[in-house]
Structure 1
Amino acid sequence: MSPVFRYVVICCALIGGVLLLVVPLGPPRSPVNETSSYATLLNATDPVSNEAPKITSRPQLTAQAAVVYNPLQNEFLFQKNAETVFGIASITKIMTAMVALERIGENDVIEIHKSAIETEGNEGTLTDGEHFTLGNLIILMLTASSNDAAVAIAEHVGFLYGASSFGESQTIFVRLMNETARNMGLANTHFKNPTGLDIDEEAGILSNVSTARETAQLIGHALRYPIVAMRTAPPILSSEEGAIRTLSSTHVLLINEPGVISGKTGFTDTAGGTLVTTVEVPLGKLSVVVVLGSTRTDRFDDTLRLLDWLRAP
């Protein structure tokens, strides 16, 4: 049994049921198949739980905080300033995806409005009046880090929950994000928008914050969704009108680093470089690597150092 598939079974039995009790009632959503694609993601043996601890030296990191987390056993293998609060930037979008997936189906169609495309950043080049499925917007949001897609998702869900304006729709969605964080026990994780953009970059005011430890636990929850955990995204996607978008991932380690399954980048001037990476390193060992407070370039180097540490005997 692969480690990701085993993890999904554990989530469904021990976590998923709890979340269903605490998520606010709202419009019915299409059922999500949370296990079917996991069996093909990995082909490895179950992790061994009684290994001797690593004796290799700790990697030297630029990142101000980092963890390596085993979600199968809820075990932290490496920690640096794991409980200190930092900005998470666009890692936020994983929570945005989760909140939407808990409430609507991947095939639900979302209209793009001017308020979304006016958001800072132009990844995805969305246009007013276009329509995309939630699944395609999530792929665009997680692969190309599209802020427009994140806002479009938030607006759509917010209106389903009674918003009467675009501004109110985002406010409602952010409330749902924070409720979800509380329900997961993430006491130091707080959201102010669905994108991760700083509230005031010039003044150095962060929007969304967490700790490395809680960020890893958030990713552990998100792995229940194949669209979040999938190894590679399709190279192109289209709107419901047929307009084609070519995707380029912001996570360079997904391209050619062995063992990397999925992940999400983040960067703002205030938060610095952030990165989450789900890996199978070494073979058969599912881990989540979190790097916060690094630089735009060093976040990848920091992650590679942690992967080398994981591979060491």
Structure 2
Amino acid sequence: MEARYTIHNLVWVAAALLFVFLVSALFLGAPREVSKGTETDVLGSPYEGLQLSARSAMVWDIALEKPLFEKNPEAQLSLASLTKVMTALLAEEALQKDAEIVVGKDAVAEEGDSGLLVGERWRAKDLIGLTLVTSSNDGAAALGAAATFGALPPGELEGEGGSMRTLMNEKARALRMTQTFFINPSGLDVSAGLSGAYGSARDFALLLSYALREHPSIFEATPYARRTFISLDNKVHNVENTHKTIETLPAIIASKTGFTDLAGGNLAVVFEAGPTRPIAVVVLGGTEEGRFSDVEKLVWATLEEISAQ
């Protein structure tokens, strides 16, 4: 009887110790990453309780190649003008920075007006910068044509982006962007029910990681609220960044906005959380204004998360 009592007590003591250990782990050492498809709900995480307008979000540690926060990261949603990052990347890979690009009439026929003129000549590097900063559909079309056909005057685009679409989708497959496919170089909605491109927050974080590693120069102009670009015809373009709140964020090294009726509000940024610690933040399917506050919340929560490590 006494032996049974002792064993019984030992069992309870062991159970109590296990409970204390588990509680301590929960409050002191619990992991702060999230399961795929959920927002952070781990007690003590800076991400806990964040209210986001975005349907999907990803905070990706580029250096460590791991997620810090996820919300429906694999959801396939409209990319809108985030598409232009792939367009700029392929133009960078296909052309010399000083290659001359001539704006064709099909490019200027794209929706929206960024001030480009038919026949206007550009250095590839400058047109990439203007296109990403202003989210120029004309610029994306001209870059797509040049990337497809080389640095000669592009002439007419083949259909809705022609063979540029093929190049974009081949690159997406090479980067293992499994939820991504492109229909045109700008991301403009094709119709009331068809977007110009689809992808996931995870996929876009992978694209940003690759682009920053291999071709960081495409983002050189994007951290600034205002920029001046001059074409080879000496036409001056004073432009404002479509990321209206970019000056409120710390250490931004890359930024791209996106908005269409189908997509809602999209925004992707990369910021330096420390030396050689780039962090990508991607939000998809938010509201036109909510995307900016979503990214701001995630940036500051991430800085708090990393400082606590």
Q: Please give the TM-score of this superposition, normalised by the length of structure 2.
A: 0.79
Deviates more, 1:213-222 or 1:54-63: 54-63
Alignment of 1:288-299 (within 5 A): 288-299=280-291
Deviates more, 1:87-96 or 1:55-64: 55-64
Pick aligned residue for 1:213 from 186, 202, 223 = 202
Q: Distance in 1 between matches of 2:274 and 2:146?
A: 40
C-alpha root-mean-square deviation of aligned residues, in Å? 2.2
Q: Distance in 2 between matches of 1:294 and 1:165?
A: 35
From the superposition, tell whether residues 67 and 182 of structure 1 become closer, same or farther in structure 2 (CA, over 3 Å): same
Alignment correspondent of 1:126:
116
Alignment of 1:230-241 (within 5 A): 230=220, 232=223, 235-241=227-233
Alignment correspondent of 1:80:
71
Alignment of 1:65-214 (within 5 A): 65-123=56-114, 125-160=115-150, 165-167=156-158, 170-200=161-191, 203-214=192-203
Runs of 4+ in 1 over 4 A off after TM superposition: 161-165
Note if contact 1:156-1:169 (Cα within 8 Å) is conserved in structure 2.
no
Note if contact 1:237-1:246 (Cα within 8 Å) is conserved in structure 2.
yes
Deviates more, 1:88-97 or 1:203-212: 203-212
From the superposition, tell whether residues 168 and 206 of structure 1 become closer, same or farther in structure 2 (CA, over 3 Å): closer
Q: Distance in 1 between matches of 2:266 and 2:279?
A: 17
Alignment correspondent of 1:268:
260
Q: Distance in 1 between matches of 2:123 and 2:185?
A: 18
CA deviation digits over 1:129-151, x for unaligned, max 9? 11001111101110001100000
Q: How many equivalent pairs are there?
A: 260
Residue 52 of structure 1: CA displacement? Answer: 7.3
Q: Distance in 2 between matches of 1:226 and 1:211?
A: 22
Aligned residue for 2:270, secondary structure, equals strand
Pick aligned residue for 2:239 from 242, 247, 271 = 247
Aligned residue for 1:167, secondary structure, equals coil
From the superposition, tell whether residues 252 and 161 of structure 1 become closer, same or farther in structure 2 (CA, over 3 Å): closer
Q: Distance in 2 between matches of 1:169 and 1:305?
A: 37
CA deviation digits over 1:201-252, x for unaligned, max 9? xx23222000111111111111132323336457211111111100210112
Residue 282 of structure 1: CA displacement? Answer: 5.8
Q: Distance in 1 between matches of 2:79 and 2:293?
A: 18
Note if contact 2:188-2:260 (Cα within 8 Å) is conserved in structure 1.
yes
Q: Which amino acid aligns with 1:256?
A: T
Gaps of 5+ in 2: 1-28, 33-43
Residue 106 of structure 1: CA displacement? Answer: 1.3
Alignment correspondent of 1:226:
216
Aligned residue for 1:247, secondary structure, equals strand
Q: Distance in 2 between matches of 1:164 and 1:278?
A: 35
Alignment correspondent of 2:294:
302
Note if contact 1:68-1:76 (Cα within 8 Å) is conserved in structure 2.
yes
Pick aligned residue for 1:311 from 296, 303, 307 = 303
Rg larger for: 2
- Identical pairs, percent: 34
Q: Please give the TM-score of this superposition, normalised by the length of structure 1.
A: 0.78
